[in-house]
Amino acid sequence: MSQSRIPEKKVICVDMDEVIADALGEHIQRYNREFNEKVTPADLHGRWFWDFVPPERLSTLERYIRSEDFFASLSVMPDSQRVLERLQERYEIYIATAAMEVPTSFTAKFEWLKSHFPFIRPSHIVFCGDKGILRGDFLIDDNPRQLRRFHGEGILFSAPANAYVTGFRRVSNWLDVEKMFLG
Amino acid sequence: MSQSRIPEKKVICVDMDEVIADALGEHIQRYNREFNEKVTPADLHGRWFWDFVPPERLSTLERYIRSEDFFASLSVMPDSQRVLERLQERYEIYIATAAMEVPTSFTAKFEWLKSHFPFIRPSHIVFCGDKGILRGDFLIDDNPRQLRRFHGEGILFSAPANAYVTGFRRVSNWLDVEKMFLG
């Protein structure tokens, strides 16, 4: 293309589950209620919830995630709204979420974003199973597999499961993200 | 990242509507049936269907696209299955479709792809409103606006509406695509 482009903002892609939406919290809450357990995020240090739960209960987790109201119930991660809105002034922000494993979640995820992050335009929401397809300068994600696929710099957002993962710059929360990108 | 990557295949992103799925054909068919008209694709030379239809009928088009069975009804564009399956041997293929304007279409589009293009893995399906976010070498799309946003080379797939668009290499059908990429 010969047409000139407006000088572009750096692109930051932001994962949804465990980064702006507390899916794990909702999972644990439903699980504890159903099985009368007292699991806390600290119990999951270095393990995905799927690897922690006894095999015979895995179908229950599957049921949670497929239930109509699962995504609508998710809490927003602390400070993520305020910081993302600030970041948007200096960066181009895309929310990139892997919804392909639970195709019924598309609409629910989209509605959740619209309600909690109304300043993110629909055109800047991406559903993709493989974040290697994203053209971005940074990806903030809790999943090291996705960060490795990504071609820009992967920023690891701390979650219990990734406690032992190394090889990426790490942020523990949205205040860390704010400091990293807005000084 | 210091980790070494396997030498990568070139990435081709492929749009869905008007490129592999005949959405326009379905629109015209429903429209002709409802209004007892005889519109053909040739009547739309250089115009989007939305610009062709009298304003008072626009809500009807909107209704078609939001109807439960619209996407399930779409015909597959000739030769697209065979050629995409061949292309996949030499290129990394992603289907990239802008579903954000009709959020109810996510699941229907996903199901359509699964049924007609079972060789495309779910991880290689992308829903995005803005194809500027895709990291790919080529994008095959009928929409010049998306091709301009894209950072690789845009290939214009002929459709009645884009008859007068210039500035891109153009393919008229999937046999042209086959020739372009597989010589």
The model's pLDDT over B50-84, given as tens digits with 9 standing for 90+, comes to: 899 999 999 998 899 888 889 999 999 999 999 99
Q: Which of B109, B101, B105, B159 is nearest to B130 (CA)?
A: B101
Decide if B130 is catalytic.
Answer: no
Over 80: is that where the pLDDT of A2 sits? Answer: no
Of all residues in chain B, the percent with pLDDT exceeding 70 is 96
Quick check: A171 and A53 in contact, CB under 8 A?
no
For A101, nearest residue in chain B (alpha carbons): B122
| pLDDT at position B11 | 97
Instruction: Tell me which range, A43-57, B53-67, B140-154, is most confidently predicted by mean pLDDT.
Output: B140-154
| pLDDT at position A57 | 92
For A121, nearest residue in chain B (alpha carbons): B129
| pLDDT at position B65 | 87
| pLDDT at position B153 | 98
- For residue B11, give how far its alpha carbon lies from the nearest alpha carbon of chain A (Å): 9
Decide if B69 is catalytic.
Answer: no
> Which residues of chain A make contact with B3, given a CB cutoff of 8 A?
148, 167
> Which residues of chain B make contact with A154, given a CB cutoff of 8 A?
1
Residue predicted with more confidence, B103 or A16? A16
Of all residues in chain B, the percent with pLDDT exceeding 90 is 83
Instruction: Tell me which range, A4-8, A20-24, A102-106, B61-65, is most confidently predicted by mean pLDDT.
Output: A20-24
Instruction: Tell me which range, B6-15, B52-61, B163-172, is most confidently predicted by mean pLDDT.
Output: B163-172
Annotate chain A with three-state secondary structure.
CCCCCCCCCCEEEECCECCCECHHHHHHHHHHHHHCCCCCHHHHCCCCHHHHCCHHHHHHHHHHHHCCCCHHHCCECCCHHHHHHHHHHHCEEEEEECCCCCCCHHHHHHHHHHHHCCCCCHHHEEEECCHHHECCCEEEECCHHHHHHCCCEEEEECCHHHCCCCCCEEECCHHHHHHHHHC
Structure tokens at A154: 């992967």
- Cβ <8 Å between A135 and B132: yes
Of all residues in chain A, the percent with pLDDT exceeding 70 is 96
pLDDT band per the 50, 70, 90 thresholds, residue A110: very high
| pLDDT at position B125 | 95
Please compute the mean of the pLDDT values over residues B172-178 and round it to a whole number: 98
Q: What angle do CA B92, B120, B150 make, to 5 degrees?
A: 50
Residue predicted with more confidence, A4 or A106? A106
Report chain B's mean pLDDT, rounded to a whole number. 93
Over 70: is that where the pLDDT of B5 sits? Answer: no
> Which residues of chain A make contact with B151, given a CB cutoff of 8 A?
135
Question: Taking the model in full, what pTM does it have?
Answer: 0.91
Instruction: Tell me which range, A38-42, A138-142, B55-59, is most confidently predicted by mean pLDDT.
Output: A138-142
- Cβ <8 Å between B107 and A110: no
The residue among A4, A15, A127 with the most chain B CBs within 10 A of its CB, best to mutate, is A127
pLDDT band per the 50, 70, 90 thresholds, residue B1: very low
